[in-house]
Structure 1
Amino acid sequence: MKISRIMTITVLVADQERARSFYVDSLGFDVRTDVRMGENRWLEVVPPAAETSIVLHEPFPGTTAGSSQGVILESADIDADVSALRANGVRVEGPHDMPWGRQATFADPDGNGFVLSATSVRSG
């Protein structure tokens, strides 16, 4: 195989505009792409200087908003990031000390769950 990277992760949201506000205003992400394609809207956000982006998409048939869980976001300063999230009105659990580092969890307005990790888990 020649798979070389993860380009995007799709997160299903009920209201793309509300999600855009959360990811940009509360998390500090940048909008990479925001275009309409017929009745669909491709709304892609990304942490500053990151490669992998998140597509905020309306649910596909048979799926529901808020069904994404466990996407891990890396933080260089988890305490400062948790404080900033809380100042932006985000309900955050943690940070907690774990065997692999420190982590905190939070959800977007639709209930999509994220882990904020002070270290990234990588295998060599």
Structure 2
Amino acid sequence: MLISSIDTVTVPVADQERALEFYAGVLGFEVRADNPFPMGRWLTVAPKGAATALLLASWFPDMAPIGGLVVAAPDLDALAARLREHGLAADGPSDQPWGRQLLFHDPFGNGFVASQA
């Protein structure tokens, strides 16, 4: 086996502090690393216990938002309500042939699909 896991996914953000407020404050992710970096901060977050972290990178101003990040959530209705109470749009939850899902974006346009865990 040449690759055994995906450790980090880079997520472009325009403002790392605002991103931290969203990912840690709204979604409840834990901060894995918050260290000085020549181009800003090396700031990674992840759901507690998750193997893969998100690197909230502000040093790629031309990087387009990414889409299709799939996350698992035990209560999609609660997640939708939390997003909406923070002024964010949430599409769903809705029942699909493959299961229940909720679509949403972070404040920087990165797209997520939350599936019922």
* TM-score, normalised by the number of residues in structure 1: 0.85
* Structure 2, unaligned runs of 5 or more: none
User: After the TM superposition, which residues 1-124 of structure 1 pair with which residues of structure 2 at under 5 Å, given as runs?
Assistant: 1-60=1-60, 63-64=62-63, 67-119=65-117
1:44 deviates by 0.1
Residues of 1 paired with 2:88 and 2:65: CA distance? Answer: 18
Residues of 1 paired with 2:102 and 2:27: CA distance? Answer: 14
Alignment check: 8 A CA contact 2:39 2:59 kept: no
2:74 aligned partner, one-letter code: A
The root-mean-square deviation of aligned C-alpha atoms, in Å, is 1.6
The number of residues matched between the two structures is 117
The residue matched to 2:36 in structure 1 has which SS? strand
Deviations 1:69-117 (A, max 9, x none): 1100111222222223223333211011111101111111111111111
The residue matched to 2:25 in structure 1 has which SS? helix
1:59 deviates by 4.2
Deviation beyond 3 Å, 4+ runs, structure 1 = none
* TM-score, normalised by the number of residues in structure 2: 0.90
Residues of 1 paired with 2:55 and 2:85: CA distance? Answer: 25
Identity, % of aligned positions: 48
Deviations 1:8-54 (A, max 9, x none): 11100011111111111111111110111223311100111211110
* Structure 1, unaligned runs of 5 or more: 120-124
